[in-house]
Amino acid sequence: MSGFFRSGMAGLVALTWGAACSAPADHHHPFAQDGPPAITGNPAADPTLPPRLGRPGRLLLGCSTKTARGPETAELYASALDFDEGRQSFFLKRLESAGRESFYPLHGHFLDGGRSGVFMVHDGKGVKDGDAYRIDQSVNMGVLFLRTADSGLRAILDVFAEENGGVPGEGAGRPLGEYSCRWAEEGRRLSSQREHVRAQPNSGGTPPSHWYRESDRTVLACLGSSTGGTYRFELRGSKIWPGHLGFLVVQTPGMDQPVGYNVHMLEGPGRLLIHAHSFPHRTRTMMLDTLEETETVIGGLLLVPSETGYTGWIGLAGSSADPYNLSFSRDATVGDYAAQGRIVVPPLPVVCQ
């Protein structure tokens, strides 16, 4: 399944982005309307394939938050296997206040020596099977952003799970809650050694890109600010693309030219997820006309409705190898993990219209 997703498009997955989202200023709260689920299946799934097993090992982070129904927790694990088939080294386990557990493979990067992080769910869901989890072939997409605040390490996360596409979540329509996180014992070791990392770099090709040229409308325009300056984002759509595909144009402080990324646009109850897993599109001649297969960028935006549009968070991270092609030894440290990715956009609050 990872090969299907690696292009950053997954064009046949049937997702829906509500028509009201194209004009949030006119219709601020489209989530109250009934509609099809955000995700309706994975056409690349092959039920004849044997299940993939995920084996969580060392606990890296434990996070918790309070909801109206009680506490909820999220835990981030490293893989228990050395280099885990060259494609998987993290897992996310969530426990809801009602006692329901969910488990997903997690791909992404610790950044800035572990002070922040950008991770994505873009995989199946795990079902407990002894000391392991069988990873099914459902479609689940989500983001996990880590940031260091005055109060310590904080996390923002959500997963659009296939089986929950049409079911309102507990936090539907409410501001995004942050999790308070702590490093587990022995979790934050900072040494970095090359032998703990295996990576298959991207091809380095630079084929032409048509995405920006084909886009014909602005879906959302967003602003985010940090001590380094203002970040500007424009989410673009096109009448010739499937409704769930978009193109995110990013302008960061100090950057002369914008960069574009392919994204999925998912609508869930009380949430919008703009999910990035893409090569960058940059300008060689004009109009972001060159795809650069030298880097893979992951992350996206997680948004909720506001009085004037949407508010939420963004985070983007890049690396010379797709996260599906990065793996680590059982003895890897946060320093090993953090050395593989670079910050494209640090986890930031954003306002969108």
pLDDT tens-digit series, residues 179-231: 999 999 877 776 667 789 999 999 999 999 999 999 999 999 999 988 889 99
Compute the chain's Rg from CA coordinates. Answer: 19
Q: What pLDDT score was predicted for residue 1?
A: 37
Closest CA relative to residue 22, chosen from 273, 307, 268, 221: 221
pLDDT at 48 over 90: no
| Token pair belonging to 158 | 């959500």
The separation between CA 18 and the C-alpha centre of its own chain, rounded to angstroms, equals 20
The predicted pLDDT at position 190 comes to 67
Residue 285's pLDDT is 87
- Residue 165 and residue 35 in contact, taking contact as beta carbons nearer than 8 Å: no
Q: Measuring CA to CA, which residue among 194, 279, 181, 274 is closest to residue 233? A: 274
pLDDT band, very low/low/confident/very high, at 14 (cuts 50, 70, 90): very low
Selection from 135, 42, 44 nearest residue 88 by Cα: 135
C-alpha span between 2 and 275 (Å, rounded)? 15
CB within 8 Å of 100: residues ≥ 6 apart: none
Distance CA 142, CA 342 (A): 20
Mean pLDDT of 31-59: 62
Say what the pLDDT of residue 124 is. Answer: 87
C-alpha dist (Å) from residue 3 to 37, 48, 125, 325, 340: 24, 17, 17, 10, 21
Residue 55 pLDDT greater than 80, yes or no: yes
Mean pLDDT of 263-286: 90
Q: Tokens for 124?
A: 């199946």
CA atoms within 13 A on the CB side of 197: 20
Using alpha carbons, select from 181, 169, 140, 180 the residue that is nearest to residue 304: 169
Which helix (H) or strand (E) element contains residue 110?
A: strand 101-111
Query: In terms of C-beta density within 10 A (0-12 exposed, 13-18 middle, 19 or more buried), how is residue 286 classed?
Result: exposed
DSSP 111-143: EGGGTEEEEEEEE--EEEETTEEEE-S--EEEE
Q: Provide, rounded to the nearest whole percent, the portion of the chain with pLDDT above 90.
A: 54
Q: Are 145 and 110 in contact (CB under 8 A)?
A: no
Higher per-residue pLDDT: 50 or 202: 202
pLDDT of residue 270: 80
pLDDT at residue 291 is higher than 50? yes
Question: Does the pLDDT at position 103 exceed 50?
Answer: yes
Task: Of 10-14, 160-164, 171-175, 300-304, give the lowest mean pLDDT range.
Answer: 10-14
Q: For residues 59 and 22, which has the higher predicted lDDT (pLDDT)? A: 59
For 296-343, write each residue's pLDDT tens digit: 999 999 999 888 899 999 999 999 999 999 999 988 999 899 999 999
pLDDT of residue 21: 40
pLDDT mean over 111-136: 92
pLDDT higher than threshold 80 for residue 266: yes
